Amino acid sequence: MGKIAFVFSGQGAQYSGMGKAFYDVSPAAKAVFDMADSIRPGTSRQCFEGSMEELTQTVNTQPCVFAADLAAARAVAEQGIEPDFVAGFSLGEIAALAFSGALSDEEAFKLVCRRGELMGKAARENPGAMVAVMKLSPEQVEELCRRFEKTYPVNYNSPAQTVVATTTENADAFCVAVKEAGGRAKKLPVSGAFHSPFMADAAEGLAEYLKKVSFSQPVIPVYSNYTASPYEGDFGKLVRAQVENPVRWQTIIENMKAVGVDTLIEVGVGKTLQNLCKRTFDDIKAFKVEAPEDIKRLEL
C-alpha cells in the first residue's frame, strides 16, 4: 500500500465561509477555531462571514487560512485518516508544522499572525506584483526574468506553471514578453510580491520573532518550501527563509512520490494544490477536503 500526504493550502484561495462546515460538525475543527478566537478575537467571524476585501488583506488572510487549513486536517484525522508526510504551500507550511507537532497550535497561530503583519507591512513599503506563467518551462521563465530588473521566479508550481514576482511597473511588460514567448500570463490578485527579495524586511523581522519560538521534533515529516526536503536542523531558519525565497512545490511533490506517496489530500481552502499535483503526475491520486462531504469521497 502506498503512502498518504496531507498538503495545506496557502494564501490566495480564501473565501467567505471557509471552514464553517467543519466547525458545525467536527469537535476537532471547532477546537482549532476556538483556539484562534482566544488569541485573535474575530478570526472565526472573518472566516465565516468576512468580505473578500477583508479576507484579501494579508494581515487577515494568513490567520484565517491557517485556521481553516488546520481545522480541515484535524477533521480528517478525526475520521481515522492519518498522513505519512505533510507539506504546506507558503503560509500552509505553518499549519503543516502545527499538525506535525513541531509547534503547538497556539504557538503556530501566533507565528502566523506575526508573519501576516510583517509581510503585509513589507508589501506596503515595497510594492510589487505577482504573475502566474503557464505553458512555459521553468527554464524559459527564468530566462524571461533575467530581461527585467527586480523580477524573480518565486513559485515553482508544476512543469508548466511558474509564478513570478516583479515590480508593479514591470508587470504589464512582463506579461507581454510571456505572450511573445508562447506562454500565457495572469496577474494575481495578491497584495505583495511574496517569496522574493521584496520580502527581505519581513524575513528579518520574522527572524527576530523566531528567537522566542520553541520547535519540537515533528512526529510526521514536514517538507520545507525552501529545501523541498523534510525539515531538519534549524527549523526557525527554514521558516524565515521561505518568506524571501522561492517555493519549490513541484520538487516537493516529486520527492514525496520518490518515497512512496501515491495519495495526496489537500486540506483546507480550495483545490489549487490538488490541481498542481495532477499536472505534475498522472499516477498520484489527488483529492481536496474543505467540507465534511469531501471526506466521504476519498478513495483510500
What's the pLDDT at 1? Answer: 62
Alpha carbon distance 124, 95 (integer Å): 25
Q: Closest by alpha carbon to 45, among 25, 70, 69, 67?
A: 67
Segment 59-115, tens digit of pLDDT: 999 999 999 999 999 999 999 999 999 999 999 999 999 999 999 999 999 999 999
Q: Domain 3-125+196-296, what architecture?
A: 3-Layer(aba) Sandwich (3.40)
pLDDT, residue 218, reads 97
Identify the active-site residue in 44, 158, 195, 196: 195
How many CB atoms are closer than 10 A to CB 73?
A: 29
pLDDT band, very low/low/confident/very high, at 270 (cuts 50, 70, 90): confident
Q: Is 295 helix (H, G, I), strand (E, B) or coil?
A: helix
Per-residue pLDDT at 191: 77
Question: Which one of 90, 158, 191, 196 is the catalytic residue?
Answer: 90
Mean residue pLDDT of the chain comes to 95
Residue 11's pLDDT band (boundaries 50, 70, 90)? confident
Scanning the structure block, which residue is given the C-alpha cell 489527488? 286
The H or E element spanning position 34 is: helix 27-39
User: What does the block give as the cell for 46?
Assistant: 472573518
The question of whether 90 is a catalytic residue gets the answer yes
| Domains of the chain, residue spans | 3-125+196-296, 129-187
Say whether pLDDT at 207 is over 90: yes
Q: Is 158 a catalytic residue?
A: no
Model pLDDT for residues 125-177, shown as the tens digit of each residue: 999 999 999 999 999 999 999 999 999 999 999 998 999 999 999 999 999 99
The domain covering 129-187 belongs, at the CATH homologous superfamily level, to: Malonyl-CoA ACP transacylase, ACP-binding (3.30.70.250)
